[in-house]
Amino acid sequence: MPSPLVRSLTGLAGTPDDSSWISRQLDTIAQLTADLVTPVSYASITAYRDDSYTTVAVSSAVALAVDEAQYDDRDGPCLTALDAGEPVAVPDFGRTMSWPGFRTAAYRLGLRASLSVPLFAGRGSAIAALNLYGRDPEAMAPLIAAVWSAFAADAPAVDPDADRRKLDDGSAGLVAGIAGAFAVRAVIHQAIGVIIADTQQSADGAYVALRMRAAEQGCNLSDVAAAVVAGKRWDPR
């Protein structure tokens, strides 16, 4: 059975971006990450709300303080990860000159390494960044490498026997959840392609049609998308 962290990350990937469940899912992901991923001391989630960056989920006031140092400077790894849609790591604060405000705040609080990972929901673009803060750069290194590998592949092709061998169970669950989220995103994109081919709608129109069908059936986007892909056609009903 998939771990709670895997289920949360793949569930988020199959949830419409405008769903009221998003906030609760982000809270769960932040807390599970802090609780289960051994090298991570604190976790938070950054999102863009009302024309500014803000922390929408946090496991500790320590993580919030480090986030806010980045918001004050309008620069830092969590902002970069969210804007670029790619993970941003600081493997060792003592060896970087980037983001001085962030580095100083984190170092003062005893943190020595960080990793910010973009999170996405049904549309497939980054809606938030999961920020992982650790006290031991050496312990964070395998997790950083595995997350980079998962994003470089842009697919669920993270070898459990190789890439995850050095990971604790919680870290392996995080990487598996990222891989699973990519798989969900791929199916949704394939379904949107089928709808576009059958209806000549725009990509936005196809996404809305898929989202409405999921709401009508009381399903998540990934279930409806999988059915569309399996049937290779869009039934307008």
SS (H, E, C) the chain: CCCHHHHHHHHHHCCCCCCCCHHHHHHHHHHHHHHHCCCCCEEEEEEEECCEEEEEEECCHHHHHHHHHHHHHCCCHHHHHHHHCCCEEECCHHHCCCCHHHHHHHHHCCCCEEEEEEEECCCCCEEEEEEEEECCHHHHHHHHHHHHHHHHHCCCCCCCCCCCCCCCHHHHHHHHHHHHHHHHHHHHHHHHHHHHHHHCCCHHHHHHHHHHHHHHHCCCHHHHHHHHHHHCCCCCC
Residues 6 or more apart whose CB falls under 8 angstroms from that of 75 comprise 99, 101, 102
Beta-bridge mates of residue 126: 120
At residue 158, the pLDDT reads 41
At residue 184, the pLDDT reads 96
The pTM of the full predicted model, rounded to 2 decimals, is 0.92
At residue 129, the pLDDT reads 98
Q: Residues 134, 123: contact at Cβ < 8 Å?
A: no
**Residue for token digits 């031991």?**
136
At residue 96, the pLDDT reads 81
At residue 7, the pLDDT reads 96
Identify the segments of the chain with pLDDT beneath 70. Answer: 153-165, 237
Structure tokens at 175: 């990487």
Q: 139: buried, middle or exposed (CB in 10 Å: 19+, 13-18, 0-12)?
A: middle
53-88 burial by CB neighbour count: b if 16+ within 10 A, else e?
bebbbbbbebbebbbbbbbeeebbbbbbbbeeeebb
Phi/psi class of residue 232: alpha, beta or left (left: φ > 0; alpha: ψ in -120 to 50)? left
Beta-bridge mates of residue 42: 133
- Separation of alpha carbons 135 and 109, rounded Å: 9
Structure tokens at 14: 């199959």
According to DSSP, the β-strands at 88-90 and 126-134 are unpaired
